[in-house]
Structure formats: structure tokens, C-alpha cells
Amino acid sequence: MSKILTAKEVRTEIYVYDTLQVDAVRFNDNGNILIADGEEAASCCLNCANPRCMFINEEASQCTKFHDIAGSVDLHMCPSRAISVGERSIEIDKSKCMGCGLCARACPVAAISVVNGKAEVHKYSNEKCIRKLPVTEKAIEEQERFLIECEHIKKQGMILQESDAVMKNIHKYVHFLNQDKQNIFVRNLFILLGNHVTIARKGNVYMRLDGFYQNENGYGILEVETGSDALDVARAILDDIAVLNSRHGISMKDNDPLAVCLYLPNKRTDYWQVVKDIKEVTGIKIRTLTIGALLLMLWNHVELQDFGNFYIDVENTSIRKELERIIGRKIQISIGTDGILESQK
């Protein structure tokens, strides 16, 4: 069993649903719905002893291909630390909340919604299908079994409807995070999309990479840039690939690097030509994604482990078409907004 929070003594009770077979959860503007045994009930916080909305799975933060490189030990889900344990439910400090939806996606029973730019916890309100349990080891084990059953159930609806205003608001919060928390934010986005991701531990003077990812399709370096130094990202990736190959035996041929930006670099920057030059000279394709693109996939319950179609360069600086293909619909963000899906002029 995953670790039980040392703060669990503040809880007075935890909960489970009466059924161990949950068919689906539906995300609604007016509160999320859990569908079990053909019946619907308002989803509510189970005050989990091991809350997925607060901490990522430690195993998901480990990459076997990079096992000898020290990773961050910070397993917090919320980069702004807005989530805490309460007596009868998880609590969210709205003054800290970014409204990003990480916690809503992570909750197995959809007990969290994003409303008016802030996450809200749906609290226990005597639903007939919910049982109250004492905080004992036996009850915690029962709750854990139920949550494991719920982790892969069908998700319906969207966590959050995108818009220019929604994306701009989240960008504002990301800018206020320090580099470490920005990296944790990106790590958690990739993990919730179905990948293993490690953020490199700071202090290693021989390697400056931000992190690395691994999934069933491959692995590679992860570099995060939320400022305007995208060109340095391309150069850093080449340095990282060389160091990983010479010191850790990580194949240059199999290393598929990802550059994650807050916004796609301007068309007039050298980044796009350098990315193309790197591909033509070395065969290495640097895929470029934005935090906004990752959020769009998160809100639409996408899981993605193949980043091959996110290679773009000077000949095409847009990821809109590929993202719409993955999500299966038109995206409601204006052309060029904050460089989320295509470069600004």
C-alpha cells in the first residue's frame, strides 16, 4: 500500500461507496456524477487516507532507463500547495489554487470540479450509496481497494472548457511559480497523461537537464522553458543527450527529447531553424509541446505516450491540427493566443 499520510490523525472519518463496481464518472458544471450499477449519485470526497489529488504515485516518478540519475523526492500533486487534509474531506485553499485541474483529473471518483477558475471539493452530504468508516487500518485497506478499482473507469465530459481567458489566467499563475515548481507541474501533467516522469534533482553540476520521461513507446530528455530562451533549450538538449550517452550509456539514437514551453517561440526566432538543422545533421527530432496543450489533453481525459507527431520546425510552427486530432474536436482557443497552439508572428 502507498504511504498513509502522517497528517491522517486530523481525520475523524473516511468513506467508501457501497459498490465496488463503478461504471463511469461524468464531469458536469453543477457537480460531478458517479455511475455505479446503473444508478447515478453525486460524487463526493472520500477523505482518502492516501489521496491521489495530493501526491503522485512514487512509481510513476521513476524511469528505469535513467535509474542511476537522482530524481526529485517532491511528490506533491499541486505545484502551488493549495491542497490539505481536513477532518471530513480534502480542503483546497482557493487563494493558492491555479485552477489547472490536476487534482480533478487525479481524483478517482471525480470529487473535485473546477468552477470559476478554482478547484472545489464536493463534500460528503449523506448520500445513500456512501458508507462512513472509522479511521482504522482495516477501513483504510477497504478504501484503498475501492480506489484502485476506480482508477481506470470511463470518464465522461470535460474537466474544464478551454477559452482564451481560462488559458491566460493559468499562464499568469505559472509565471509566478519558481523553476522547481514549474518542473513539478509539467512532470505531473505528463504522469496524468500516462507517462513515467522524473524531475532531475538539483545540485548536480555535471548535468543541467530538467528531467526525463519514459513510456511503452520510448524515452527521452525533458526540458522546460517558460521564458523566452527557447533557443537555449535546443542547445541544452544536445548537451544532455551527449552527457547521458557518454556517462550513463543512454543511446543517442533512441533518446527522443521533448521541449515543453509556456508558449511556442516566435516565428522570427532562430529556434525553429535550429530544430530543423539538428534533425538534418544528427537525425534527432526535438518534439515541442506547450503547457497549454498538455492541459487541453488533461481536461479531455486523453492519455498520450506517442509524441512523434509533435515534431515541428521552421516549415510548420503549429500543433493545433495534431491536438485537435487527438482530442477529436475543434479547440476553442483563438489563433495565436499566447502561442499555445501556434507561434505568434
pLDDT value at residue 3: 46
Q: What backbone phi and psi angles, to 5 degrees, belong to 253?
A: -65, -35
pLDDT value at residue 7: 44
pLDDT value at residue 73: 84
pLDDT value at residue 28: 82
pLDDT value at residue 203: 53
pLDDT value at residue 29: 72
CA distance 183 to 201: 11
Characterize the bridge pairing of strands 112-115 and 118-121. antiparallel
CA distance 17 to 145: 11
| Secondary structure (3-state) at 280 | helix
pLDDT value at residue 202: 64
pLDDT value at residue 20: 62
pLDDT value at residue 5: 44
pLDDT value at residue 227: 80
pLDDT value at residue 320: 97
**Per CATH, the architecture of 164-339 is what?**
3-Layer(aba) Sandwich (3.40)
Please, are residues 33 and 25 in contact by the beta-carbon 8 Å criterion? yes
Reading across the β-sheet that carries 22-26, which strands appear in turn? 39-42, 33-36, 22-26, 154-156
**What residue spans in the chain does CATH classification 3.40.91.50 cover?**
164-339
pLDDT value at residue 4: 46
**Could you please report the per-residue DSSP string of 1-51?**
-PPPPGGGGG-S-EEEES-S-EEEEE--TT--EEEETTEEEE------SS-
| Secondary structure (3-state) at 189 | helix
Place of cell 483529473: 105
What residues form DSSP beta bridges with 119?
114
Characterize the bridge pairing of strands 258-261 and 287-290. parallel
Mean pLDDT per block of 10 residues along the chain (345 residues) reads 48 82 83 81 90 94 81 89 91 95 94 93 78 91 91 90 95 91 95 93 62 92 85 87 87 91 90 94 94 97 94 94 97 94 87
